[in-house]
Amino acid sequence: MQQKLKEIKIKFRHAMNGIVSHNMRSQGADYKINFGLTLPLLKRIAAETPADAQLANALWADTAVRESMMLAPLVYPIDEFTEAEANRWVETMPNTEVADICCKFLFCRLPFARQKACEWSCSDRPLTQYTAFQLATAWLVAHLENTEASNLGPVIDAAIAQATGQRDNRAFAAVNLLKQAMHNDALAAHILPLLQTKAKADTAAQPLLDMLTEEQTLYREFSGRDSR
C-alpha cells in the first residue's frame, strides 16, 4: 500500500502546477500541501489507478494533501462504498472543494444517495448540509426523470430555508439545487407553492420565487415541454 501511495505522490509532483497552488493559497485555501492539480489531471491519474477501497481510504486519511483527498472518491469502487463509510467521510469532509468532488463522482452514484442527501440536509454542521445540497443536485442531474425524485422533500425543504436565509456557501448550493429541481415537474409543483406562500409573509423570498419560475419556464421552452 505504501508503494502505491508513493507512486501516486510522484505523479502529483510531476503534474504540480505552482501557479494554481499559489493562487489557491492566496485566496485562503487551507491545505498543508497543495500541488495545484486540476480536475482533468486528477481524473487522468484516477484512470491509471485501479479501483481499490483500501487505497481510497488511505488517500482519504491523508488529510494534509489536497490531491489525496480529491483522488480518493475517484478510485473508490462504487459497490464497496457503504452507508457507514459515507457517514464517516461526510463527518471528516474538509471543505467544499472536496465535497463537490465526492458528490459528483462518488456519492451521487450510490444506491442510497437520495436517502443520504435527505438525512444530511438536517445536520447542524454547515459543511454536511452543503454536501447534502450538492449531492441532491448531482443526483437530480443523473436521474432527472426518476419518479423517486419526489422523495427528496426533506432536502428540498431545507434548501428553501437556506436559500432564503443566511447567505453563505450553503445558500449558493441550495439555490443551485432548487434551480435543478425546476427541471422535474413533481419537485417544481412542490417548491413553487411553498415559495408563493413564503413570499406573501416575507418579501425577501420573492426574488427566489421569480428566479425559479423563470428557470422552469426556460427549461420547458428549451426542452420542448412547453405545451403552449
- How do residues 24-47 score in pLDDT, each as one tens digit? 777 667 788 889 899 999 999 999
Residue with cell 412542490: 190
Please tell me the predicted confidence (pLDDT) of residue 20: 72
**Angle CA 160–166–169, to nearest 5:** 85
Rounded to whole angstroms, the Cα distance separating 224 from 218 reads 10
Give the percent of the chain with pLDDT over 70.
96
Instruction: Give 148-179 pLDDT, tens digit per residue.
Output: 777 899 999 999 999 987 778 999 999 999 99
Q: Choose among 210, 126, 191, 184: nearest CA to 153.
A: 191
Looking at the whole model, is its pTM more than 0.85? yes
Please tell me the predicted confidence (pLDDT) of residue 228: 45
Rounded to whole angstroms, the Cα distance separating 221 from 185 reads 14
Residue with cell 510531476: 14
Instruction: Give 62-97 pLDDT, tens digit per residue.
Output: 999 999 999 999 999 999 999 999 999 999 999 999
Please tell me the predicted confidence (pLDDT) of residue 226: 61
Per-chain mean pLDDT for the chain: 91
Q: Where are the alpha helices (DSSP H) in the chain?
A: 2-14, 18-26, 39-47, 53-61, 66-71, 83-91, 96-105, 113-120, 126-142, 153-163, 169-181, 185-201, 206-223
Rounded to whole angstroms, the Cα distance separating 102 from 98 reads 6
Q: Is the pLDDT of residue 54 over 50?
A: yes
134 and 173 Cβ atoms separated by less than 8 Å: yes
154 and 132 Cβ atoms separated by less than 8 Å: no
Q: Is the pLDDT of residue 23 over 90?
A: no
Q: Is the pLDDT of residue 147 over 80?
A: no
Please tell me the predicted confidence (pLDDT) of residue 225: 64
